[in-house]
Amino acid sequence: MGRPLFYDIIEKPATSCIVTICSVIWFVIQKKSIGYSQVGLSYDTAVEGHYWRMITSALSHISVLHLVFNMSALWSLGVVEQLGHIGLGTAYYLHYTLLLIVFSGVLVIGIYHLLIARFNIDYFRRVTAVGYSCVVFGWMTILSVKQPSSKLDLFGLLSLPISFAPFESLIFTSIIVPQASFLGHLSGILVGYAISWGLIGGMNNYWALTMLGWIIVVFVFSLKKSGAYDFSFLEIESLSDASLPSVRFIGNGRTLQASAVPLSGVDVV
């Protein structure tokens, strides 16, 4: 008789929460018939200021097979939470999951920009990414460096040596699923190597909470500014001069206004 699932859930609390969140979001997407273009991330939507899509695209899955594949791989990679004795563990998992979501999204948009601006490949303006695969590939890569003796189990049927799993999975998904985002998966792998080699590091509770706070702020403001969702308590007014926009929080008769002093001698890019 196998080990009860309850014990795995207790030992992988962060992984369990992420799997639950992604599953609930998938159910809502199916229930409300939401299309991938409404939640996915593309170059054009990023340029238009839809920064909130960096989060919704990572947590959304359109098909049940896509969800099952990603969550099965993520569940196996949740072993990171059980490796506190080698400097990993639940806190490490949460800290660098935030980094993987944001940095892999920024990197893939940067790659799209290079291909569009340098090589005039306009096709990548419309490519829309959806799914948690970037983060999954990132954790595959981190685990392959930190714990190369580990195995990646998929669906409880297929077991891959973790040291080769990132590139094996990259090739496998590109062949089996033609719509799979090769550049998106590659971005996750590159960010994973940057984290595991110490090029991106220093995360602790303070920096993780600070980063989470900024993610929430950018998420809410970009939702409001792009018109995707109307927050009645928040008003953003664009000014005609070069100063920053004024921001008002409306409620209880109080108004907070942030106005900026025009900059001089500075090139704003």
Residues marked active site are found at 133, 185
Distance (Å, whole) CA 190 – CA 196: 10
The full DSSP string for 92-161 is: HHHHHHHHHHHHHHHHHHHHHHHHHHHH--GGGGT--B-SSHHHHHHHHHHHHHH-TT-EEEETTTEEEE
One-letter amino acid for residue 22 of the chain: C
Distance (Å, whole) CA 46 – CA 38: 13
Of 67, 197, 81, nearest in space to 133 by CA = 67
| Dihedral sign, Cα of residue 196, residue 198, residue 200, residue 206 | positive
Tokens of 92: 């490490």
Q: How far is CA 41 from the centre of its chain?
A: 10
